[in-house]
Amino acid sequence: MIALACDVGGTNTRMGLVHEGLLLTETVAIYRNDDFADFYAVAAAYLARAGQASVDAVCIALASVTTAEGATLTNRDWTIERGRVLTGCRAERVEFINDFEALGFSLGQAEKLRTRRLAQGDGGTKGAPRLVLGAGTGFNAAAWCPSLFDGVPHVVAAECGHMTLALAGAEEFSLQEALSRINGRASVERALSGNGLVSIYRWQCAREGVEPRFDAGADISRCAVAHSDDRCLAAANVFLRLLGRLAGDLALAYLPYDGVYLAGGVTRALAPLLESGPAFRQAFGAKGRMAGLMERFPVHLLSDDASALHGCAEWMRLSAAAR
Amino acid sequence: MIALACDVGGTNTRMGLVHEGLLLTETVAIYRNDDFADFYAVAAAYLARAGQASVDAVCIALASVTTAEGATLTNRDWTIERGRVLTGCRAERVEFINDFEALGFSLGQAEKLRTRRLAQGDGGTKGAPRLVLGAGTGFNAAAWCPSLFDGVPHVVAAECGHMTLALAGAEEFSLQEALSRINGRASVERALSGNGLVSIYRWQCAREGVEPRFDAGADISRCAVAHSDDRCLAAANVFLRLLGRLAGDLALAYLPYDGVYLAGGVTRALAPLLESGPAFRQAFGAKGRMAGLMERFPVHLLSDDASALHGCAEWMRLSAAAR
């Protein structure tokens, strides 16, 4: 059985072939969406190049609310319809899943993913949940939970980017005021996203009474990692503190005794600070009398670009096994 | 197959017999722990009264971190050991589960529970998760998630009482300072518990420059519900606002499209205000551009004293089916 896994982002689309529920990593290709009129054109180009006239199934992960009939991308004017995918890919089945749901399913094949360990924890508990969370264009998380009874995993999908951002103390209260100015409310992704990093940086500049030099999250994270700008570095450390606190809060919500995985473009851009500095780690563990519990969770950086494709593969494996 | 379900609280223990995975509600009895030397004495008294010389299995739910070998109650000096339960109850198997995990499993038999609907939502989505959360001595939550693949439910256990309490705006920032004074940190259950209600009430009195008249959460909730004391009422409304915000945040974390269930002693004591006032409802829905999504979740008050026993029964049903 050959299937097609697709990870459709706002900028790029990744595709790969899946055989018996495993991604064939050597078949993974990446396309710039700007070079194509629509999703169907990308899929046609990929399948032609792969010499694949038809596939048994297609699984499409994307940052969107999905239904069985299709989805519209959040950050691009692309609608993907079930019927047109079936025809265009000569496929028997098509499934749409949310991008973080796909990352959640990928944790069922965590041994296949490129990761880096940030904290050893107690080494991980087999059969326990795993959690993936990440800051990129937005923020979200998903938990992978193997059943207590038959071992079949379940993934808890979420909209964690819209939760209330938990801030504490006078300094962060002033940040909350700044973040709430536009919408009257500071959600998680108001701070923990690319734009969020820019907001934190502007607030940092305003506090120090200096003019902001940067407009893009990528520039701020680059200068922070290079230690070439004090305001960028300060903003990045506030970001990592808030990320650590939230990662700790979400660990308390899902108890991922088999590992917390940090994903997302901003998280990865700040990886050197995440590894070398105390900001994330201290905030992650600062849960009062639960501090000992927090030390149990292994923490990993998920740096595999094909994670969502592995998640599509795992989804298809489980779905085929259930049929 | 006859099994024994036990819900061991700090003050009372409830027991009931389970037949083929269903609680026989007419067999439910409640005991005051003070009247007994230990758990084994309660179980012996119950089984003698029920005329049950032995049982196939025992499932014990308690507010504690449990292992397969037993558990020690959080709020009472009682340790319950697997071996002694097996002998004392002449049972073949004994299982220990966390009390909120039991409430989570009870949602698999939600139609058997005494509940009251607070918000209709979109009527609920079959096959979607359900969430139970509650404020009592402490705070916690659990999510019931039917598998996408084989329908076997999984329950996500949590320690949500230790998450960071999300506060917003100048008034709540002053509350955060008050709640953090003792431990340097305001966790969820620092506010959302019986003692938390007392803390909020004291803060309310301090703001108004009046002497507190009450020391117990039960008195404060009674006067609030009776509208007989303005400070109690104000404190209860702050409590319900924080509860509503957190319930909304947890709904975003587990997406319980088949219902949110509110449990716990303090929640139930404030039920009349929960139903009649806007504090909970407004805070639950105030999630910016997710406001429409929040309206989809049905919200119920879970007022069934035997909920955890139903959860033990469901746990035993699933566990027997998997064997």
Tens digit of each residue's pLDDT (9 = 90 or more) over A131-185? 999 999 899 999 999 988 877 899 999 999 999 999 999 999 999 999 999 888 9
Q: CA A143 to CA A126: how far, in whole Å?
A: 15
Residue B312 has pLDDT above 90, yes or no: yes
Q: CA A182 to CA A203: how far, in whole Å?
A: 13
H-type alpha helices, chain A = 39-50, 82-88, 99-106, 169-180, 188-191, 194-208, 217-225, 230-254, 265-269, 271-276, 279-285, 291-294, 307-322
CB-based contact A154 B150, cutoff 8 Å:
no
- Which helix (H) or strand (E) covers residue B179, if one does? helix B169-180
Residues of A in contact with B176 (CB under 8 A): 168
Pairing state between β A91-98 and A55-62? parallel
B14-37 tens-digit pLDDT: 999 999 999 999 999 999 999 999
CB-based contact A149 B322, cutoff 8 Å:
yes
CB-based contact B166 A166, cutoff 8 Å:
yes
- What percent of chain B lies above the pLDDT cut of 70? 100
Q: What is the pLDDT of residue A73?
A: 87
Residue B271 has pLDDT above 80, yes or no: yes
Rounded to 10 deg, the angle between the A230-254 and A217-225 helix axes is: 100
Distance from CA of B287 to the nearest CA of A (A): 7
Q: CA A252 to CA A208: how far, in whole Å?
A: 35
When the pLDDT of each residue in chain A is averaged and rounded to a whole number, the result is: 95
Q: What is the pLDDT of residue B265?
A: 93
Mean pLDDT, rounded, for B233-252:
98
CB-based contact A145 B154, cutoff 8 Å:
yes
Could you give the 3-state DSSP secondary structure of residue A142?
strand
Residue A282 has pLDDT above 80, yes or no: yes
Q: What is the pLDDT of residue A65?
A: 80
Mean pLDDT, rounded, for A197-211:
97
Residue B10 has pLDDT above 90, yes or no: no
The answer to whether the CB of A103 falls within 8 A of the CB of A62 is no
B170-181 tens-digit pLDDT: 999 999 999 999
| Phi, psi dihedrals of residue A23, rounded to the nearest 5° | -70, 130
Which residue is associated with the tokens 């406001």?
B291
Q: What is the pLDDT of residue B26?
A: 97
Give CA angle at A181 (A175, A185), nearest 5°.
Answer: 80
Q: CA A226 to CA A120: how far, in whole Å?
A: 26
Residue B151 has pLDDT above 90, yes or no: no
Q: What is the pLDDT of residue B236?
A: 98
Distance from CA of B277 to the nearest CA of A (A): 22
Q: Which of A70, A59, A58, A74 is nearest to A9 (CA)?
A: A74
Is B249 within 8 Å of chain A by CB?
yes
Could you give the 3-state DSSP secondary structure of residue B165?
coil
Q: CA B104 to CA B125: how far, in whole Å?
A: 17
A51-110 tens-digit pLDDT: 999 999 999 999 888 888 999 987 788 999 999 999 999 999 999 999 999 999 999 999
Residues near B111 by Cβ (< 8 Å), separated by ≥ 6?
A: none
Split at pLDDT 50, 70, 90, the class of A302 is very high
- What percent of chain B lies above the pLDDT cut of 90? 89
When the pLDDT of each residue in chain B is averaged and rounded to a whole number, the result is: 95
Encoded amino acid at B121, one letter = G
Q: What is the pLDDT of residue B183?
A: 81
B83-94 tens-digit pLDDT: 999 999 999 999
Is B154 within 8 Å of chain A by CB?
yes
Is B166 within 8 Å of chain A by CB?
yes
Encoded amino acid at B24, one letter = L
Is B250 within 8 Å of chain A by CB?
yes
Mean pLDDT, rounded, for A289-318:
96
Beta bridge partners of A32: A12
CB-based contact B156 A145, cutoff 8 Å:
yes
Domains of chain B: 2-105+306-322 (3.30.420.40), 115-303 (3.40.367.20)
Is A135 within 8 Å of chain B by CB?
no
